[in-house]
Amino acid sequence: MGDMEVSNRQDTKAELLRSAERLIAEKGLGSVSVKMITTDAGARNPSAVHYHFGSIEALIEEVFAKRYREIEAERAIRLERITEADPQARLVALVEAAIGPFLEACLEDNGRVYARFCFQFVSDPRFDYAKLISNAGAQTFVRLSHEIIACLPDIPVERLAPRMRHSFVISMVQAVSFAHAVEAGTAPQVEVAVREAASCLAAYLSAPA
């Protein structure tokens, strides 16, 4: 296989990823077809999605994982900076480390598209986003989760587990809301938005059982 052919295949795959992310963010998962993605990506082969990914579900999962890995890298940096010892203050700091990269990404066009994509993604029953987070190599997310649980010893595990899952979905709502505010020119400073979002999530996680 020639270098040009390999390059063309890589370009087509990248365009399919970009088109799927943008179209789903704009129109919703239920309104986007394989044909729409291939046409938008300029793919000459109508079976390009299946050729490169096997299925539209696999394509969508790769869109999620590709940017999520970047968010994980930023989370790892933030986690190492946490010094708070008081459980409540540490809880807020940990949640800030978890959600901060999502909100900061919303300052850029691509980040806002990704936030809206994720909002569609996590609300679709076809996808187990917790499993996909794990598959994306989310060691930092797992460590953050364990440390958050350690800050909440009085909450029974059977209550805390669903709260942790719900918090991820809530964080996507927060990110999309911040993305809208950025576009409208009404967003607060990102540091303020992160602290407010984290404080709300921490309050939800730590509410008496």
pLDDT at position 136 is 74
How sure is the predictor about 8, in pLDDT bands with cuts at 50, 70 and 90?
low
Average pLDDT over every residue of 163-173: 91
* The pLDDT of residue 4 is above 50: no
Kindly report the pTM of this predicted structure. 0.86
Instruction: Give dist(CA 193, CA 180) in Å, integer.
Output: 13
pLDDT at position 180 is 97
Whether the CB-CB separation of 158 and 209 falls below 8 Å is answered with no
* The pLDDT of residue 98 is above 90: yes
Whether the CB-CB separation of 124 and 29 falls below 8 Å is answered with yes
Instruction: Give dist(CA 10, CA 151) in Å, integer.
Output: 45
pLDDT at position 202 is 97
Instruction: Work out the burial of residue 147: count CB atoms within 10 Å of its CB; fewer than 13 is exposed, 13-18 middle, 19 or more buried.
Output: middle
Report the run of H or E that residue 169 belongs to, with start and end: helix 157-184
For the ranges 55-69, 76-90, 103-117, 174-188, the lowest mean pLDDT is seen at 55-69
* The pLDDT of residue 6 is above 50: no
